[in-house]
Every structure is written in C-alpha cells, then in structure tokens.
C-alpha cells in the first residue's frame, strides 16, 4: 500500500512531495522537490523521521550502506545516497510541557522524560531536496531493501520483488520498471503485483475527484482501465 501528500504551506513558504510505501513490516518514506521558498527568513528545513519516548534501544548497526537505529521495537534507517542534508539522531532528557499545550492541563505535574529523535537537516537554502528513509516495524534490520524506481515531483515509486508501488502526481510521467513502462491517465496512487504472468492492480484517486470515473494504467503497452467507485459510502479505489 502507499500514501502521499503534496505539501505546500504558504505561511511557511515550503514545498515538498512526500510518499509512503508499505512492504509487509517495512515502510519506505520518500521526499522530493523539498524547497524553501523563503530562505531570507531564519531557520533550516528539517524532515523528522521520529520523535518519541526512548524505550530500550540497541547499538547502531550498519547494513545495506545504512546506519540502523532501534527504539521501542522499531528500526530506523536513512538512505544517504538518496538524501540531501545531514542525518542525525540522539536521545536526551526533556521536561514535559503539558501546561503550555492546554489550559485543561493546569493541574498536571510536569516531569522529565527521555526522548529519542531522528531527523534530516536540509539546510536553509534547500532547493529540490530529497530523502529516503526506512522504518522496520518488526524490530529487525531488513534482509533486503525496496528498490527506489523514481523520486521526483512527477512520480515517486519503489519495488520489492514482484510488487511495484507508485504515486503519480503528473499523468505525463513515465515509470520504468522490470515489468515494463508504467503510465497513467490521471494522477493516482497504485500498487501492482506481478505473479505467474498475471497482474493484480489496486488504484486510488488521492485527489478524490468525483468527476473522475476511471483511471487507465498502462503496463508494458497493455492498458488496464479501472472504474472508480462513485457511491458516497465507498472510497475512490478499485482492485482489478
């Protein structure tokens, strides 16, 4: 499965395309087109990989060219060659600030807790920056990693074995895969599984355009038209 968002906050003057791809207990997060549209203001642009309570934790392990860090049963790793910026992580004690968050917390006692944080510092004048990081939810460093097929503002995609997952922001984009070139008739997210000469395809219209009745996905020159659900009670997705 996959999820995506095109983040453009005018107040922060920040632009980024972000997608998440799930392969069993492993998920891959991709970022592309990260741009600070107002570098004249102070402050760097950061991508937060994780910020949570520190629980347990094993020594850093290097594998697949990635440094993996464990916390609370999850293992995190940032792919350096696909990331622009400085990768960092730390554990530190901080005092809680519940009273500042809500007046309802006036009587709450603040205490000191240990936090685990991991992030990417893209710098202040980042333009078309990118990142790729993994989270292994079974607490183990993965034996193999998904292959990143594309990470651009037009399409973000990855493959693991016979499964390809992609987010198309631009219908003009073409995605090269071992199973043939993939194109779409409209922006969408898709997951394709190739097995025994057959294709299992799931497509979703992330824009939730109720005027869009179908999306055609072409793989290796063969077209598959997916009719979208139109009922208000159904989500805009179809598996064929």
Short-list 50, 95, 96, 47, CA closest to 73: 50
pLDDT band at residue 116 under the 50/70/90 scheme: very high
Residue 150 and residue 168 in contact, taking contact as beta carbons nearer than 8 Å: no
Angle (nearest 5°) at CA 6 between 161 and 155: 40
Percent of the chain with pLDDT over 70: 90
pLDDT at 239 over 70: no
pLDDT band at residue 197 under the 50/70/90 scheme: confident
Short-list 192, 185, 235, CA closest to 215: 185
194 vs 200: CA distance, rounded Å: 7
Average pLDDT of the chain, as a whole number: 90
Instruction: Detail the DSSP E strand segments found in the chain.
Output: 2-9, 14-23, 26-36, 45-53, 61-63, 66-71, 74-78, 86-95, 112-123, 129-136, 147-151, 155-160, 163-168, 182-184, 188-195, 198-204, 214-219, 222-227, 237-239
In tens, the pLDDT along 198-215 reads: 999 999 998 888 889 999
Q: How many CB atoms lie within 10 A of CB 122?
A: 24
In tens, the pLDDT along 22-61 reads: 999 999 999 999 999 988 888 999 999 999 999 987 778 9
Query: What Cα–Cα distance (Å) separates residue 53 from each residue in 41, 90, 113?
Result: 31, 12, 7
pLDDT reported for residue 2: 57
Angle (nearest 5°) at CA 3 between 132 and 169: 85
pLDDT reported for residue 17: 95
Long-range pairs of 227-232 with CB within 8 A, sequence gap ≥ 24: 228/203
Residue 69 and residue 91 in contact, taking contact as beta carbons nearer than 8 Å: no
Average pLDDT on 78-95 reads: 95
Least confident stretch, 7-16, 64-73, 143-152, 229-238:
229-238
Residue 82 and residue 135 in contact, taking contact as beta carbons nearer than 8 Å: no
Token pair listed for 124: 């202040």
pLDDT reported for residue 231: 56
Q: Is residue 40 classed exposed, middle or buried when 0-12, 13-18 and 19+ CB atoms within 10 A define those classes? A: exposed
pLDDT reported for residue 207: 85
């Amino acid at each position: 499965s996959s999820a995506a968002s095109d983040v453009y906050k005018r107040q922060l003057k920040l632009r980024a395309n972000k997608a998440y791809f799930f392969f069993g207990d492993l998920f891959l997060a991709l970022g592309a087109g990260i741009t600070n549209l107002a570098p004249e203001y102070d402050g760097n642009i950061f991508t937060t990989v994780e910020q949570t309570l520190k629980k347990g934790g094993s020594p850093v392990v290097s594998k697949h060219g990635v440094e993996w860090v464990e916390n609370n049963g999850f293992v995190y790793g940032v792919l350096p060659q696909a990331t622009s910026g400085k990768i960092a992580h730390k554990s530190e004690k901080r005092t809680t600030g519940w009273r500042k968050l809500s007046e309802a917390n006036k009587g709450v006692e603040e205490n000191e807790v240990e936090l685990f944080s991991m992030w990417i510092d893209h710098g202040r004048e980042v333009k078309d920056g990118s990142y790729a990081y993994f989270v292994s939810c079974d607490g183990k460093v993965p034996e193999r990693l998904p292959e990143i097929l594309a990470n651009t503002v037009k399409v973000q995609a990855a493959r693991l074995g016979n499964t390809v997952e992609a987010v198309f922001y631009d219908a003009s984009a073409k995605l090269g895969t071992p199973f043939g070139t993939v194109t779409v008739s409209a922006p969408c997210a898709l997951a394709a599984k190739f097995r025994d000469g057959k294709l299992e395809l799931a497509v979703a219209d992330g824009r939730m355009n109720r005027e869009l009745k179908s999306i055609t996905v072409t793989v290796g020159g063969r077209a598959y038209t997916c009719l979208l659900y139109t009922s208000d009670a159904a989500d805009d997705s179809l598996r064929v």
